[in-house]
Structure 1
Amino acid sequence: MIDEAATDFEAVHGGRPTGAWTAPGRVNLIGEHTDYNDGFVLPIALPHTTRVSARRREDGRLRLYSAQGDGTITDLPLDGLAPGAVASWAGYPAGVFWALAEAGHPVGGADLYIDSDVPSGAGLSSSAALECATAAALNDLYGLGLSAPELALIAQRAENAFVGVPCGAMDQMASACCTSGAALFLDTRTLEQRHVPLDLEAAGLRLLVIDTRVKHDLGDGAYAALRAGCERAAHLLGLPALRDLAPDGLAAALDRLPGELRPLVRHVVTENRRVTETVDHLVRGEIAALGPVLTAGHASLRDDYRVSCPETDLAVEAAVAAGALGARMTGGGFGGSVIALAQAAILAGISDAVRAAFRSAGFASPFMFTAVPSAGARRMA
């Protein structure tokens, strides 16, 4: 694969790349819409990755080519990069260059060849994978010496300020910092990390990812509106962030808020509690006990946060009815993917049941695969 990538790079850019870097997509076990509220999250990295072959340029230009693109090279001057100036997928790697330069790091031009098998628009952080692979490449190409968490924050800055999506740090931290065989318990306020072992195979379990093929665009304003609502609620409650509202104070706090903000607050507070509950189960080796926690998390996203859709609701319902221990929407919402925890022996039956339910409802057939906790961003060659 590395030799093939080098050959592809040479065909597009001429000459050989200096190296190749990779970063994974992620699936979040639990902890949705908590990261921009200074809360807790528990993602795993996927085996699906974005690969970037790269070499330096000395002329101050950035030349980008995507194997999934339209067959043309995007050629940009580094001194012309500014928020909102680069459209489509190219804004993500360009934003990383911009964020590094803004932070004072000495980066110059580069040729990039990008290839990815992370499903786009499926709630699996394809944008974070692209950002983190680019950041890892530039870190090595220009000898910046940045740590994985530092690269994740650069990638987050690119998405927030350059692309314009006000996401929290979870996606980039997962893509940069996850380890094989573990979930990443991340405190998004302090950025303290803990790798919690997650051996699904030893427990006879599998984590099925169901990509509903309903595409979402977090840059369309809906995500920003949710974040603004949470920030307004925290301000009205006199809190730095909703993370600071304890579960035993939730009922009294809701009474002090306008009706439209109450469901958002209820979701964030109960979701943080679900994350810590999940970690406790994993530490005790009680992986099967995660099932009801996942399903409760979906109900909260559907009823309180209102970021689900008919396809994700149906995937959850069909999976649970077919014997899954639990299931929930994962990612920012408005489409995307569902995860279902199930015994390995009945996984095929659950997949068949979900496909049948989608066919009956007239929905496009979902794409499904099994998630394995994988490694974060790294150099391949």
Structure 2
Amino acid sequence: MTVKLRLGAVLASGALVLLTACGTDDNSGLPGAVDFSVEGLRCGPGGTLLASGSSAQANAMEVWVNTYQANCEDSQINYKPTGSGAGVQEFLQGTTAFAGSDSLLTESEIDESRGVCRDGGRAMHLPMVAGPIAVAYNLPGVDDLVLDATTLARIFDSDIRRWNDPAIAELNPDADLPAIPITPFHRSDGSGTTDNFTSYLHASAPDAWPYEPDKAWRGKGGQSADGSSGLVGMVQQNEGAISYFELSYAHQNEIDTVAIDTGASEPVRATVENSSNAIAQADIVGEEGDLALELDYATREEGVYPIVLVTYEIACDRGNDPATLGLTRAFLAYTAGEDGQRALREIDYAPISDDIIQRVRDRIDAMD
């Protein structure tokens, strides 16, 4: 069935069932021209599906939920973007069919999942959506800025304090860098975005960034704001500011972003294509069919953007609740399918690479 709907029409009709909530990686605001048309979408059994977790994937979930429901009228999918930690806890408590998480489950959380997944099942990671984390800045007169990992680490650790610092000037010989203070902004709340950004700094510049990656900020100095939207506001309002947030925020708010000197022949920009290239290089490190990924944050490959966030759907490999198994499997099959992955490019997310997403599809088909 083909249903031609756009975001405004769906909102007006009340068909939107993505439940908004406060989360660690709030991401909101879709372009008005998002089209929910899909031809031949395979619907599962009707009913209601509850899920929660990562709010970094909220825009993707909004498109996926509305597309699925527009084509499968007997189904209602409620996804609450409460943040990765809260979503995982709700899944482990058995109150949701699956969870979205920007970080891998711990061993203890996987062990705990055996009490929720029946018949000897356990939680598995299904990488479903990726997104470039842009480094955004407010520097009038400088609309093309290159930085490397060491310089970024020193900036965010308050070691480099002015924009005309020799380390920045060396990377930008043609730029007219002003002698104004740098104001780095980081997340005040625990965040998967912070976890991934600091993973990049620690892997690529361990001497300049000795702190272990964490959802909580570990660097010295700087200022903070709540959520990605809070960081956007701080960058917009403060000349000399620099911060990090999902690429969609930078594009929606027309904020300049940094090109990263990774050691490749050309600096790499934060784009969907360059982020997809990073996912293609990832190694699958999960065991027993689990699809947890390990990213190469220190890559020097051409056209590979190194600061990428992957969101996993966390579900039981077997022993799912029989009452929701069919709908869970059908909805996740759509999100991992060609139509679901194609929709990501239109809203600044990066689809999962072909070889990995095919394994995701196989794991979804095998869910019982």
Report TM bin, short chain. under 0.3
TM-score (norm 1): 0.22
Specify which structure has the higher proportion of strand: 1
TM-score (norm 2): 0.23
